[in-house]
C-alpha cells in the first residue's frame, strides 16, 4: 500500500480544503494510504476539517505553526516524515510548499508534489515569487487546478512547463430529484416565498470576489425587477463596508447577509441563479456547487471561470468590474426563466461529464503511479 502524506495549513474549509476532503477519501478507496499533516495555528484549530477526514478513515496529524515565517515547522515536519516514511509528499498552499517540500527533500522522500490552488495577486510580489521558485525546485511535479493557474505558474512564477500538469477540481452532483424539495425547504428556512426572485452569492467577502460590483449591479437589476432579492452567504473583512454600500445604494432591505454558514452550498437551491463576480479566480469551486444544483451562473469572464462556464450554454459571462454588464445578464435571466432552467440543466450535465470526483481522483492516481515508476526505474 502506497503511503502518501498531504501537507497544508488549514484554518477553515474553503476551496483547497474542500478539495482535500474529496481527494483523500477517494485515494483511500483506491488502495492508497493517505495521511493528512495539518499545519495548524493553535489559536485557530482546524477541528471540523479534522473530524470530517477522520470520519472517512483518513489519518490526521497536526503540526503547530505560530507565524507565517516559522522555521520550527521544518524541524517538526522532518521528524514526522522520518516516522511516517511515505513514498510521496504532496503539499498544498504557500506554507506547506515552503516547509513541507524542504522537509521532504531533507529526509529523502522520493516523490514530491505540489498542488497550486490559486493565482492570488500577492503571488506576483517579487519576494513571494522567489520563495515559490525556491520551493518548487524540489517538486517533481506541480499540479495546477486550471489552465489559468497553470499559465500563472509557468509565466509569472517561472516554473518549468515540463513540471506543470493540470488536474481540475471534482464534485459529486446531487440527484436532480432532490433539487425541488431542497428549494422549498431552504426558501422556508430563509423566509422567501416560492415566487420570489432570489439572486445568490456564495463566498468570502473580500476584494477578490467582487461583491461590491454585484451590489452596484443590483441597483439596476431592481429597477427592472423591484421584487428581486440578493442573498449573500459568506463572511470576511469586507462585510461592514459591503453592508454600508448596500444601505447607501438604497437596496439595503433587499440584501440579506446570511454570514458564515456551515455547509453553505446546501442553501443554493433557494436561489434562481448564482453570481460569481470575481476579479480573479484560481478555480471557483462555487461554480461546480451551483451546477450540481442545476442552477444557471452569471460570472466574470476572467481567470479560470471561462474554463468551467460555457457562455450562452451553462450561464453568462461578463467583463469583470462591469456592474452594467452584470446587471444586464442577471436581468435577462430573471426575465427568461426557460433559458435559465436550460442553462442549469446543461451545467448539471457538464459537471457530471467534465468535473467528477472520480475523474479528479483517477488523474491524481495516474500521476502518482507515473512518478513512482519513474523513481523506481532510476
Q: What is the pLDDT of residues 300-342, one digit of tens each?
A: 999 899 999 999 999 999 999 999 999 999 999 999 999 999 9
Burial (CB count within 10 angstroms: exposed 0-12, middle 13-18, buried 19+), residue 219: middle
- Comparison of pLDDT for 367 and 157, the residue scoring more: 367
Q: What is the pLDDT of residues 228-260, one digit of tens each?
A: 999 999 999 999 999 999 999 999 999 999 999
**Which pLDDT does position 371 carry in this prediction?**
94
* Residue position matching grid coordinates 436561489: 271
Domains 3-170+356-377 and 176-354 share a fold: yes
Which of 86, 87, 98 is CA-nearest to residue 39? 98
Q: What integer is the mean pLDDT of 125-152?
A: 87
- CATH number for the segment(s) 176-354: 3.40.50.2000
- State mean pLDDT over 43-56: 91
pLDDT at res. 14: 80
Q: State the pLDDT at residue 282.
A: 85
Number of residues that make up the chain: 378
Q: Please work out, in degrees rounded to the nearest 5, the angle formed at the alpha carbon of residue 28 by the alpha carbons of 26 and 31.
A: 115
Strands 273-276, 255-259: parallel, antiparallel or unpaired by DSSP?
Answer: unpaired
33-40, strands of its sheet edge to edge: 59-64, 33-40, 3-9, 88-92, 111-116, 141-144, 164-166
> Where residue 374 falls among pLDDT bands split at 50, 70, 90?
confident
pLDDT classification of 178: cutoffs 50, 70, 90: confident
CB 5 within 8 A of CB 88: yes
pLDDT score recorded for residue 246: 97
At 272, list the grid cell.
Answer: 434562481
Write down the pLDDT at residue 104: 96
For 1, 272, 360, 361, the CA distances from 59, given in Å and listed in that order, are 15, 39, 21, 18
Place of cell 479560470: 304
Phi, psi (deg, nearest 5) at residue 276 = -125, 85
Q: What share of the chain in percent tops pLDDT 90?
A: 76
Here the cell at position 266 is 446546501
Q: Any bridge partners for residue 62, and if so which?
A: 38
Furthest C-alpha separation in the chain: 68
Please determine, for residue 11, whether its predicted confidence score (pLDDT) is greater than 80.
yes
Torsions phi, psi for 141 (to 5 deg):
-150, 145
CA distance 215 to 238: 13
- Which phi and psi (to 5°) does residue 198 adopt? -125, 120
* Residue 327 confidence (pLDDT): 98
Contact at 8 Å (CB) between 106 and 83? no
Which residues pair with residue 311 across a beta bridge?
315
Residue 93's Cα: distance from chain center in Å? 12
**Distances 101 to 16, 136, 264 between C-alpha atoms, Å:** 18, 8, 33
129 pLDDT higher than 80: no
Q: What is the pLDDT averaged over residues 189-204?
A: 94
**Is residue 378 over pLDDT 70?**
no
Average pLDDT, rounded, for the chain: 92
Please tell me the predicted confidence (pLDDT) of residue 21.
94
Q: What is the mean pLDDT of residues 133-159?
A: 90
pLDDT band at 72 (very low <50, low <70, confident <90, very high): confident
More confident residue, 136 or 299: 299
Every domain of the chain and the residues it spans? 3-170+356-377, 176-354
Lowest mean pLDDT: which of 9-18, 21-30, 212-221, 226-235? 9-18
Residue 3, judged by CB atoms within 10 A of its CB (0-12, 13-18, 19+), counts as middle
Mean predicted confidence (pLDDT) in 179-185? 85
CA–CA dist 359, 246 (Å, integer):
41
Q: Which pLDDT belongs to residue 322?
A: 97
Cell of 271: 436561489
Of 43-47, 219-223, 251-255, which range is least confident? 43-47
Neighbours of 369 (CB within 10 A): 11
Q: What is the CATH number of domain 3-170+356-377?
A: 3.40.50.2000
Lowest mean pLDDT among 59-73, 250-264, 289-303: 59-73
Which of residues 86 and 125 earns the better pLDDT score? 86
> How confident is the model over 159-184, as a mean pLDDT?
87
Helices (H), the chain: 15-29, 47-55, 72-84, 93-106, 126-136, 147-155, 179-190, 211-224, 239-248, 285-292, 305-308, 323-335, 337-354, 357-377
Grid cell listed for 312: 450562452
Q: How far is CA 88 from the centre of its chain?
A: 23
Amino acid at each position: 500500500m502506497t503511503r502518501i502524506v498531504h501537507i497544508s495549513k488549514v484554518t477553515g474549509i474553503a476551496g483547497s480544503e474542500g478539495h482535500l476532503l474529496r481527494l483523500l477519501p477517494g485515494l483511500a478507496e483506491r488502495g492508497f494510504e493517505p495521511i493528512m499533516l495539518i499545519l495548524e495555528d493553535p489559536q485557530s484549530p482546524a477541528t471540523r476539517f479534522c473530524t470530517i477526514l477522520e470520519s472517512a478513515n483518513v489519518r490526521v496529524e497536526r503540526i503547530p505553526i505560530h507565524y507565517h515565517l516559522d522555521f520550527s515547522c521544518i524541524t517538526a515536519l522532518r521528524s514526522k516524515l522520518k516516522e511516517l516514511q511515505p513514498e510521496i509528499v504532496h503539499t498544498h498552499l504557500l506554507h506547506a510548499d515552503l516547509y513541507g517540500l524542504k522537509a521532504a527533500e531533507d529526509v529523502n522522500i522520493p516523490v514530491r508534489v505540489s498542488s497550486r490552488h490559486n493565482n492570488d495577486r500577492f503571488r506576483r510580489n517579487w519576494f513571494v515569487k522567489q520563495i515559490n521558485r525556491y520551493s518548487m525546485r524540489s517538486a517533481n511535479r506541480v499540479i495546477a487546478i486550471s489552465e489559468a493557474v497553470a499559465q500563472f505558474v509557468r509565466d509569472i512564477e517561472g516554473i518549468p512547463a515540463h513540471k506543470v500538469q493540470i488536474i481540475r477540481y471534482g464534485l459529486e452532483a446531487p440527484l436532480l430529484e432532490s433539487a425541488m424539495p431542497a428549494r422549498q425547504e431552504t426558501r422556508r428556512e430563509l423566509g422567501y416565498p416560492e415566487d420570489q426572485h432570489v439572486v445568490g452569492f456564495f463566498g468570502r467577502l473580500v476584494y477578490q470576489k467582487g461583491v461590491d460590483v454585484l451590489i452596484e449591479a443590483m441597483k439596476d437589476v431592481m429597477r427592472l425587477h423591484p421584487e428581486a432579492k440578493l442573498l449573500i452567504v459568506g463572511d470576511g473583512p469586507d462585510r461592514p463596508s459591503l453592508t454600508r454600500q448596500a444601505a447607501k445604494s438604497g437596496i439595503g432591505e433587499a440584501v440579506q447577509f446570511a454570514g458564515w454558514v456551515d455547509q453553505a452550498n446546501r442553501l443554493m437551491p433557494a436561489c434562481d441563479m448564482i453570481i460569481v463576480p470575481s476579479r480573479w479566480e484560481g478555480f471557483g469551486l462555487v461554480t461546480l456547487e451551483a451546477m450540481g444544483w442545476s442552477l444557471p451562473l452569471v460570472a466574470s469572464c476572467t481567470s479560470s471561470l471561462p474554463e468551467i462556464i460555457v457562455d450562452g450554454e451553462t450561464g453568462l459571462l461578463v467583463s469583470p468590474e462591469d456592474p452594467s454588464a452584470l446587471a444586464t445578464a442577471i436581468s435577462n435571466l430573471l426575465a427568461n426563466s426557460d433559458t435559465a432552467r436550460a442553462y442549469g440543466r446543461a451545467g448539471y450535465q457538464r459537471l457530471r461529464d467534465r468535473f467528477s470526483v472520480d475523474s479528479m481522483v483517477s488523474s491524481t492516481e495516474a500521476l502518482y503511479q507515473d512518478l513512482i515508476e519513474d523513481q523506481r526505474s532510476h
